[in-house]
Structure 1
């Protein structure tokens, strides 16, 4: 994802608050994501964000972000497996 009008990457994900307002969230600040039943994102500073996206969608967006910056591991099969 690129910044509007520029070529610098944005290292955030776009989500929707319950009131419909869109916002960008810095993924490394996420401590946990829960479905209570609204999707609740707790940040490392304790602040809670409530979003329309499901837990599975938030997980997918976070995984895409970490893949885009090369921060995901990969499974290496064992020899003889």
Structure 2
């Protein structure tokens, strides 16, 4: 079963849930930026590799 949401941490330490179907792109620049379908950008504490691992755990 594939994950439908990820629990991530914003830079101000607030926890958020992100619907994986809304994610268009994840980049490390050096902060991790998640770009959603509507163009909204989220900066999170988790690394690109951590997010990848979360998605693989499914």
Smaller-chain TM-score bracket: 0.7 to 0.9
Matches of 2:28 and 2:4, distance apart in 1:
24
Which runs of 5 or more structure 1 residues have no equivalent in the other structure?
Answer: 1-9, 66-81
2:25 counterpart residue number: 32
Q: Deviations over 1:36-71 (max 9, x none)?
A: 110000011100000000000011112223xxxxxx
CA RMSD of aligned residues (A): 1.4
Aligned length: 56
**Aligned pairs (5 A) from 1:37-52:** 37-52=30-45
Which runs of 5 or more structure 2 residues have no equivalent in the other structure?
Answer: none
Bigger Rg, which one:
1
**Aligned pairs (5 A) from 1:1-80:** 11-65=4-58
Moved over 6 A (4+): none
TM-score (norm 1): 0.64
Matches of 2:5 and 2:43, distance apart in 1:
16
